[in-house]
A and B are shown apart, each in its own frame.
Chain A
Amino acid sequence: MSSKPQDTTVKFDIVKNRRKFFMISGLILIIGLLSMAIFGLNLGVDFKAGTRLDVYIGKEFSTADVEAAIKSQVTDVSFKSVTKFGDQNAWATTTFDQTIDPDHLAAIEKVLQEKYGDQVSKQESTVNPEIARELALKAGIAILIASAGIIIYIAIRFQFLFGIATVIALLHDAFIPIAMFSILRLEVDLTFIAAILTIVGYSINDTIVIFDRIRENLRVMKVKTPEDLEHMVNVSLWQTMRRSIFTVLTVFFTALAIAILGSEGIRNFSLALIFGLISGTYSSIFIAAQVWVSLKKREMAKRRYTPSPQEG
């Protein structure tokens, strides 16, 4: 016997308060769903077809001038009003409803170069509707298959109930950044999918470390009553608490550094990561383990009425 689970101080009874955590997550879920139903997601050209144009201006500029430059070259296609972004608001961005011919984009760049100088430079992303549909479909399939693969692995390495609890936490963590992006009107593009999958992988990492400890303590401590079970999970959570916090801190440092200091191209990616990191850590402690406790208690209650021979 190495660390003594019985001796671990439980600073705060997480398991007792699990309904409150379920309610907090439920509330976020409802707000997120409402936002998605009302506003939808701000889909980028990767999923919607059209052309996205980012222009680095590199100095003070007015969005009206940029819009005028666009109108002078592209007359018949509507586009979103130009917004500023990036360091010192040196970038202008807009999205066209239709795909724009590269010649027109080059002409826009030229007009802006004449006005603001040679440092003006553009980046462009054009997707036609067929490809956009294909990408969206592929992204959906990818998330489903990745989730299924992970669930199967956990069901084999752990138990079925752990698997279910992990899936619920996983869906929770995939949903929170999506909801946040809908609420904050941030653009959802292809790298966002990569971010969501990274989060899913990370959040499961976190959940597994906690479940590993629960599984271990389940062997060491005698769990006979629902109270024993609650105590054991509390102890397990507090034993792994330092690790959970330290790990999220180290990953958080890097994600935050990319979000603040990194290039504009991956800003949304790192924002999605940050939302996911927070919700992933939160859900591992306050949702995944709690869901497992609820499920396990129900299973224990059932067994009491119909004792099975293999119960130990």
Chain B
Amino acid sequence: MATDLVPGVAPDTPKTARPRAPRVARKNPARRLALLLRHRWLYLMLLPGVAYFLVFKYWPMYGLHIAFKDYIPFLGYSGSPWVGLKHFEELFTGGDFGRLMANTLILALLTIVFVFPAPIVVALLLNEVRVSVLKRSVQSLIYIPHFLSWTIVASLTYLLFSADFGVLAGFINDIVGGQRADYVAQEEWFRPLIILQLLWKQTGWGTIIYLAALASVDQQLYEAARVDGAGRWRQLWHITLPAIRPAIVVMAILTSGNIMDTGFEQIWLMTTSLNRPVSEVFDTYVYYIGITQGGFSYATAVGLFKGVVGVFLIVGSNWLAKRLGQRGLY
């Protein structure tokens, strides 16, 4: 089961082969400087990247402290009064929190159950297709939706599913009969529609990474397995799946960091007055409170909470992955 069966995805070179500075060097300042100088071009190349993160990712975080203030832009950061944890208290004790948490988690759970495995399944299926032209054309066709914006996807959904003129809604009605349902307005259809949209839009694109992993599997393994009498299923189970397991784990960890990220645009565009109780999630709530209603401090508090939870989730799942004997993200 070890991953070293698969050269392509196990790039770990033997430790002795990697050139390393002697351990004493780290302790000796002069040696350290020499080391720095020796790799000066590498460090120089590092600079723009570091600057980018400092300016665009870390400096803006300074603004997060308005979550602990009653921020009024005109008074500025220094002029706005500190209010401590008031906004967090309001968030946790207010009527919205439970609903937001539930909606966010349910959508995340549905995504993990239905959307996450979909590209794996499709990639495995495509991998079994032996006609190269067919394989490629199917692959191209299914990733095209990825390039459409959520606005277009949402408009299409409305066109297909609304009560008055929805083509698909009418079609379903003809088959099932009864009162014509307004799928885009009803609470109970919100989540299925979101998942369907995600599947339609993202599955094809997601297969790319798995197909890349699959492409690097050594064909000799399959030949050897066939000689040993393994059928298609055996080969899938014992060669293909282990081969892409690292890719799956990494993708899973990355996904776990985004559990609180339900994807703003999609949800926002699909939200109506009628489905708000199930559709409002942290992302849309932050936008609504912060930008639409101008509650900057409160929105920042919500966003900060969400971000902290996200960090915990990604660290936690990485730890879990390592615990289970997989190579984690870091």
A binds B: no
Chain B interface (Cβ < 8 Å from any Cβ of A): none
Question: Which of A's residues lie within 8 Å of B, judged by CB?
Answer: none
